[in-house]
Amino acid sequence: MDDLTTRARTVPLEAGAGPDNPPCPACSEPLFGWLAEVDRLGAPVRRCESCGLGIVGESAGTEEALAALAQSGDQERARFANRAGLACSLGGAGWAGLEPGVHYLFTVEAARRLVARRDQVVHRRRWVPGPSFALTWQTLLNSVTFGHNVALAALGHGRAAPAEERWQRRIDGLASIVLAIPAAIVAVPLELLGALFRGGGVVDLRFELL
């Protein structure tokens, strides 16, 4: 109980607010509020201060989280947008990993804790350059557009949350074209920096039995 009290004091007041702090399905530490509800996600987002796992809405527990991890690969591998990455830290609610329909937002540590429940360890961790640059690039564009992930979806990757008004969608389209190259020029060194400090945008993990 003392640990919980100490932890609650170390996070921002608004992050610890709310009627309850359910346990993290990966490591059992209490979850705290991270992002308020936005339309494209349909629910507020909580995060674990210990392993970094993020959850949109409610979690049904460890089995559901493991099933979501398996959906990003299979029982032996996973590839996901890294919630502990530099792009997420800088992007916040504009992070491109927060696309419509997403439920669990994984980190390497969260995945490690989860697969330990089925007696596996992470035996290889790899940064995936192409998708990582794309994620950081889209995160930068999200900071200037009304909609979310518009450019990547236009290129056939992932799901967008277009702006509501037609004039906003027009501006988003124009901004995505005009700013595509400047955003790429910023995204490349930013993502390389993240990867250097093990905060790459997209990671690929391989698991093996203990």
Interface ranges with Zn ion (CB under 5 A): 24, 26-27, 29, 48, 50-51, 53
Rounded Cα distance between 12 and 46, Å, is 13
Nearest distance in Å: CB 109, Zn ion? 8
Q: Please answer whether residues 48 and 24 qualify as being in contact, where contact means their C-beta atoms are separated by less than 8 angstroms.
A: yes
Nearest distance in Å: CB 4, Zn ion? 14
The residue (of 54 and 194) whose beta carbon lies closer to Zn ion is 54
Rounded Cα distance between 85 and 198, Å, is 8
- Neighbouring CB atoms inside 10 A of 197's CB total 9
Nearest distance in Å: CB 62, Zn ion? 11
The residue (of 24 and 69) whose beta carbon lies closer to Zn ion is 24
Nearest distance in Å: CB 38, Zn ion? 23
**Phi (first) and psi of residue 104, to 5 degrees:** -110, 140
The residue (of 24 and 108) whose beta carbon lies closer to Zn ion is 24
The residue (of 23 and 173) whose beta carbon lies closer to Zn ion is 23
Nearest distance in Å: CB 193, Zn ion? 26
The residue (of 84 and 190) whose beta carbon lies closer to Zn ion is 84
The per-residue DSSP string of 85-135 comes to SHHHHHHGGG-TT--TT--EE--HHHHHHHHHTTTEEEEEEEE-HHHHHHH
Residue 32 identity: F
